[in-house]
Structure 1
Amino acid sequence: MYKLLLADDEPLVLIGLKSMLQNEKYGVEICATARNGEQALALIKSEKPDIVITDIKMPVKTGLELIEQCREEIGETPVFIMLTSYEEFNFAKDAMHFGAVDYLIKLELNDKSLEAALDRAKERLAKINPGGGTHTEMQPFKDRFFIRLYNGLFESAEQYERERKELELTFDAKGYCAAFCTVHESGAQAMSGSKQFTLLTSTAQVVCDSVEKYVLCTITPLDAKHFVMCLALDEHTNEQMLRVAFANAAANAYRYFSVSVNFGIGRIVSEPLMLKASYKGACAAALLTGEKTSVVFDTSVEDIDEPTKEEPSRPMSHQERTVASVKEYISSNLGQSLSLNEVAAVFGFTPNYLSQLFAQYSSVGFVEYITDARVNAAKKLLLESDKKIYEISEQLGFDSAFYFSKVFKKLTGLSPREYVQTKQ
């Protein structure tokens, strides 16, 4: 039985919901009711419900303020289902930004919609705490594990296997591929960092819920606009199935959050240790997405029985391998912030040590390598996509189209427009 709290300032609504929820098929037990947001917050802290169904507009503290404060002070639980009327529909979408799992329109409330919302709440709870309280503590380590996997940072198969067992991760699928996901939201730059990241995690969860109707997946957030999915595939998986899965995911993300999500899908590999190649292809495919094409595949995934069998490359020395791995990471994350401090943190180095590695084991310095990589990627996009110059500059992490054009001309001797003209 899940503990559930009801919050609404309308007595008739509370009576109606309590009557409906008495049905054992819902699998919930009402632990408390509240008539305003302040009372609801106090009861949440004392009763510790798993699920809260709350009205969006209430006296003293609104439902939006309630969920925002709970996220800041308590964490991922309880999960919220919002009650709304037609005129409050936009507020319901705002609530989804803070991680509400669903919203119910009061005038359309029935057994079917209530059961569906509660099922979503239970699914979210299962993902938040699948092992009895260890998920929240372990998640940062799991995220780091997958980032290392995508960037080929394990020193050996033995090190990979040891960390996999410590984190209780299972990989037993027929094949795997990476999906690089980008979230676009109008006015996102005006949002604070914490709210933007909350939007990303909520969007990622909706995307995952949608995709998992077709194929198992694991989410790893990268920054406030990007996340990666590891897809575990079986012999029934094909490209059309994945296109439908990601189209539904994009539609649900827009429905709940008014955001658009683009997906770059990498090629299939047979082993998790080979996901680096899939991730690199996913990042390249993601650069080719746009308003008209939200899903781009690096290669066809029609034949799941023939995943890539190639072995990961072997380093010549530890230092050379480290520099090569950093370069691969840079090439796969050109659209993100790539300051020396940030990249060093990903690899667990000091900025000074990383800078020295590049000086000793690379033909160009750290900043110069990033600039060259971005300009080379820009050349490809200018010739192979229909993106505008400002769109390319944004996708490749330049501060502005003006700065991009200036850097491009400095390295090539031509402006981006002139470069395209010379190649036509």
Structure 2
Amino acid sequence: MHRAILVDDEVFTRKGLMKLIDWEACGFRVVEEADDGEDALALIESVRPDVVITDIRMPVLDGLELIRQVQENGVAHPFFVIISGYDDFQYARQALRYGVQDFLLKPINEQEFSEALRRLNDRLLKQKQDKERETRLLPSALVEALIMEELDEETLRIWAERLHLNTDESLYYLFAENNDAAELFGREEGSQKENAHEIPPFKQRVEKALAEMTDGCLTFYLHEHRNRIGILLPARSLGSFGGSMRTFAEKVRIKLQTEQENERIFLYAGRPAEGLLRLADSYSSAKEALLYKYHEEESGLVILEEEKPLPPLSYIAINEVLYHEFLEKLEEQQLAPLDDTIERMFATFHIELFAPEAVKMAIHQCVIGVLRIVEGMEGDKSALSTLHPMLNWHDQNLTIGGLKRLFRQFAEESSLYLAELRKEQGNGGIQKIRAYIDAHYQENISLKSIARAFYLNPVYLGQLFKKTYGVYFNDYLLQLRIAAAKKLLRQTDRRIYEVAEQVGFGNADYFVTQFEKLEHLTPSEYRNRLKKDA
């Protein structure tokens, strides 16, 4: 409960407020009362309440002067709610200038007063949360400054004392990373939401794992990077792990690993740095360790050690033969050979030690190649449900195995979609033909003329149209023309023969016959009925 003080020279007003309002339901507890501003000032300085509810007109020290003196001496910083029997704009304006939270008039309305307290409760809770968050972020802000080398030696000395570290103490910087947990693989949305309630945020899991491993005896400083957690680790923390960073990191990884499908935990440790001032060196080497992620799929650990330098990475393009083979198998819809090509492609990434940037460029080249084929066949790339995650996978934490699963899904979906486009093209692009008819029905068109324009046999075209749309070509064309004629009869005063010509009939008598066949009345009767109904 937030603490409140009531200040009013009328005892009945104070007691009435105590009984009238359900203070606890609004988040408050009245801890003290005062009958004048002078006593209230002393109470505020000693009790430090969260809120003061005060009248304006009081002996010795009025409400506004009380607020002014509290703000000037700065000993306490409560919120103020003014209640007054005087509907005076000058008071309200001055109260607002002092930053008063609310100004309420007597007689007090229970609902209005309760709502004001609830609003104040929400504000106090948010203020408290913001303060706690600021306190938690202090070490994080320090880590940020350290790795960016923005602190001088004196500031470092002060922070080392606060964090119970020696300025020359050996330190490590590590990254903990949760991979393949993002919604990229088509899992059901309901399942994902359910799992989100079961598993706490990754930073919280890291904090818990580290605390359990050291029995809460050591403090670890964590920093949230864009998609991983940084850990500032004193070297003495490795004492109970034989001084081995690899042993420590492996135990952390095991503790963090859950039973979640596909989820993989990776840890990357930089080389030790001598003191806080050199922490940026360990951070830089931890970033170097990140580059070897795709080549430690089995262990999930990349530990940089002075005596064992890592091999150089390759920044080369994908093999052209493999690239063209991938596109060929994809176009031919040979899914088994396509899968084999993808396996060999990813094996090449591993064998030739492709850097993450080289892998990214190789995958991007393949995706662009597929999209060019889709566009060349006049397909719609947005029809590929896997395209968006495939274009944005590098913003997520994916292992090489997770990336391969996603890439395989994209390749298989693209192959099936190209087969559909090929089938549509083989069918003569029936949708394009219908669009052509819709655009040219007023002209002298026929099944033969359209078949000739699209290089198709007219008999085949007639059968395909009926199979696709459930209506014969001539009937469809007639329906279009009659619908257009009805619109002209409704909206214009054109003569019947003029309407017939405009919608594609060369003979007015034939138009009347066909109109009556579909509508069971002549064009003139149709128009006259509209006039009669009007």
- TM-score normalized with structure 1 length: 0.37
Of structures 1 and 2, the one with the larger relative CO (CA 8 A, separation 6+) is 1
Give 1 or 2: higher helix fraction: 2
